[in-house]
């Protein structure tokens, strides 16, 4: 029988990487995302004896990370202080408005492309990116071969890349080099 510490370590190793990616989609940088996930796991460890999970552990973890990420964003807003002359001084690690507009436009283009995917391909892609399921989990859920899942993901990424006018060489062939999709899904 595993001790609580060993069980916690297994839990951390199972989810930490995906949770950091998820947090980064909110906070925008890896260091803060790692801090968010660390804080979530620390809170779970501190509450381990009194924590009653009525829903799945995975859902609880993602909800915790989302809420802590939103708290980080809220604290960032507090760093913006009004100066005496009425101008706004922005401190901390905040993106500029042009970056935000570009990000929103890129996201819109990506979501439009996803909506145009064939139904099977779209479902596989969204299970991978929004539900954070492994290829093996998706294959099992949809009763298809793991290789089929890989192929459908590749088709989806190629279609999205082409829909956005991205040549394979421009981003090293990897759609994840785009800032707005870097851990968007």
Q: Kindly provide the residue ranges of all beta strands, DSSP E only, lying in the chain, ordered along the sequence.
A: 81-82, 88-89
Over residues 63-72, the pLDDT tens digits come to 889 988 888 8
pTM, full prediction? 0.43
pLDDT tops 80 at residue 100? no
| Contact status, residue 153 vs residue 128, Cβ threshold 8 Å | yes
Distance, in Å, from the CA atom of 148 to the CA atom of 101, rounded to the nearest integer, reads 36
- CATH 1.10.10.10 spans which residues of the chain? 95-181
Over residues 111-121, the pLDDT tens digits come to 888 889 999 99
Top CATH class of 4-82 equals mainly alpha
Topology given in CATH for the domain delimited by 95-181: Arc Repressor Mutant, subunit A (1.10.10)
Of residues 182 and 145, more confidently modeled = 145
Closest residue by Cα to residue 19 from 63, 73, 54, 56: 63
For residue 88, give the DSSP letter. Answer: E
């Amino acid at each position: 029988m595993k001790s609580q510490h060993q069980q916690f370590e297994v839990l951390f190793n199972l989810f930490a990487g995906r949770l950091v990616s998820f947090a980064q989609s909110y906070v925008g940088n890896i260091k803060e995302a790692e801090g968010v996930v660390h804080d979530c796991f620390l809170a779970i460890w501190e509450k381990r004896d009194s924590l009653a999970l009525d829903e799945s552990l995975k859902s609880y973890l993602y909800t915790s990370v989302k809420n802590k990420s939103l708290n980080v964003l809220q604290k960032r807003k507090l760093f913006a202080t009004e100066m005496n002359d009425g101008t706004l001084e922005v401190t901390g690690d905040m993106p500029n408005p042009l970056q935000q507009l570009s990000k929103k436009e890129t996201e819109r283009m990506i979501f439009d492309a996803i909506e145009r995917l064939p139904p099977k391909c779209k479902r596989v892609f969204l299970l991978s990116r929004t539900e954070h399921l492994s290829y093996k989990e998706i294959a099992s859920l949809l009763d298809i071969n793991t290789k089929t899942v890989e192929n459908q993901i590749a088709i989806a990424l190629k279609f999205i890349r082409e829909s956005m006018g991205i040549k394979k060489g421009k981003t090293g062939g990897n759609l994840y080099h785009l800032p707005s999709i870097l851990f968007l899904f």
